[in-house]
Homo-oligomer: A and B are copies of this chain.
Amino acid sequence: MPVNKKTTLKDIAEKLNITVATVSRAMSNHPDISQRIKDQVKLLAETLNYRPNSFALHLRKQRSGMIGIILPKIIHYHSSTILSGVILAAHDLKYQVMICESGSTPDEEKNNAWALLNAGVDGLLVSLSNNTFSETHFSDMQNEGIPIVFFDKVPNSFIASKVSTNDYTGAFIATEHLIEQGYKNIAHLKGQIGARNSEPRFRGYMDALQKHHLEANQAFVYECLYCTEEEGFDAAQKLLKKRVRPDSFFCVNDETAIGVLAAMRQMNISVPGEVGVVGFCNLKAGAYMNPSLSTVDQAGIEIGKKAAAVLIDMIEHKADPNCPDYKHTIIEPQLIIRESSRKQQPIIAGKRKALQKQ
């Protein structure tokens, strides 16, 4: 493997018998430099394959043009969608993205944050793990003047820039949709009390019931610990064995909703005829199910784009005295109606339906 030393401004200067300063100015099209020199320099730079040394640039500017992102788990569909959005916006603004995965452990999250800062990122994008209850290290960083934007899973009790889905309205429109389809006894598979998105989704569900004068039945709210398909499966079976049965499920996420669908299949209960189901997240898998799963889409790309844009704005206006205050951007989610909740329209068997996606 050849180890050709990279060309530097010095190399060019020596070959042309001028100083590095002149070369530097020529490369950046400084008006003082004669066209002749500029041409010479640029030609030589080209032929020698000159590329500026980023390390020197970073040191000089005390800026790297890199932002760091910390995610609980990359494989989650929602996370990787957000990541895509972040990268898009960052590249547009000439920033690169460095990535870490916390695996939902607060310690890793903290280590990741410091590792990214030590690697030289100009700012941090953070989606908190569900298990992070103390955000003091992040407030320390903020106080040091490090720009941080929280996204998706954002801290409640902590003043900072944030970008997140409106979980409340997402849950509200999903529940309202079930009501409009004629379902009356709507159960809710709820997330863990501690989990960041569970509470607003629960409130959205409750408020939609209230708006439409439906009584909220405590027995129809089932708390899931891990929000897996298995829990959804179990929950659905338990709830349907009660004397008063629910006729539909609004689930805190698509995994549990998929579990509900499996339970319905096993119990020979028709969906959406007898029971309606709506999830939350718009997993790819939902579109493939039979019946396909209605859900709430969180516009991950938008969340990512916005979070990156806010962060980079903070980075570039750090010294600005009238620097904008921390702001919380709320992205509105969108209801995706598929077969699992469409009671009102007959289901047309066939390809179009079988493969319907969005």
Closest 4 CB pairs of A and B: A285-B285, A54-B120, A55-B58, A55-B59
**A141 CB to nearest B CB, Å:** 10
A112 to chain B, nearest CB (A): 8
Chain B residue numbers with a CB within 8 Å of A284 are 283-285
CA of A54 to CA of B119 in the docked complex: distance in angstroms? 6
Answer whether A119 and B66 are a contact pair too, CB < 8 Å, given A83-B74, A285-B285, A349-B266. yes
Of A15-23, A35-43, A95-103, A196-204, the one contacting chain B is A95-103
A259 within 8 A of partner (CB)? yes
A103 to B243, CA, bound (A): 53
Q: How far is the CA of A284 from the CA of B99 in the complex (A)?
A: 23
Q: Mark A315-350, 1 if CB is under 8 A from B, else 0.
A: 000110001000000000000000000000000011
Please indicate the chain B residues that have their CB under 8 angstroms from the CB of A2 in the complex: 143-145
Q: Are B233 and A355 in contact (CB under 8 A)?
A: yes
Beyond A52-B118, A59-B59, A318-B1, whether A74 also contacts B66 by CB under 8 A is: no
Contact of A3 among B117, B259, B319 (CB under 8 A): B319
Residue pair A101, B74 in contact (C-beta under 8 Å): no
CB of A6, distance to nearest CB on chain B (Å): 8
A residues contacting the other copy or chain, number (CB 8 A): 69
- Name the CB-closest residue of B to A323: B1
Interchain CA distance A56-B57 in the complex, whole Å = 10
Confirm or deny: A221 has a beta carbon within 8 angstroms of a beta carbon on chain B.
no
Hey, which chain B residues are within 8 Å of A88, CB to CB? 101
**Residue A244, interface by CB 8 Å:** no
Q: Which residues of chain B have C-beta atoms less than 8 A from A118's C-beta? A: 51-52, 54
A48-94 residues with Cβ-Cβ distance < 8 A to B are 49, 51-56, 58-59, 62, 64-66, 74-75, 77, 80-81, 83-84, 87-88, 91
Q: What residues on B are CB-neighbors of A230 within 8 Å?
A: 351, 355
A351 to B229 Cα, complex, angstroms: 11
- Pick the contact of A4 from B58, B115, B144 — CB < 8 Å? B144
By beta carbon, the residue of chain B nearest A77 is B75
- The closest CB in chain B to the CB of A100 belongs to B87
Q: A99 and B97 in contact (CB under 8 A), knowing A49-B144, A229-B355, A314-B1?
A: yes
In the complex, what distance in Å separates the CA atom of A266 from the CA atom of B230? 27
From 212 to 261 in chain A, residues with beta carbon under 8 angstroms from any chain B beta carbon are 229-230, 233, 258-259
Does chain B have a CB within 8 A of A288?
Answer: yes
Q: CA of A262 to CA of B287 in the docked complex: distance in angstroms?
A: 11
A309 at the interface (CB under 8 A from B): no
The reply on A137 being an interface residue by CB < 8 A is: no
A135 to B351, CA, bound (A): 40
Chain B residues near A54 (CB-CB < 8 A): 118-120
A87 close to B99 (CB less than 8 A) = yes
Q: At the interface, yes or no: A354 with Cβ under 8 Å from chain B?
A: yes
Q: Which of A91, A99, A145, A259 has the most CB of B within 10 A?
A: A99
Question: A181 in the interface, Cβ–Cβ < 8 Å?
Answer: no
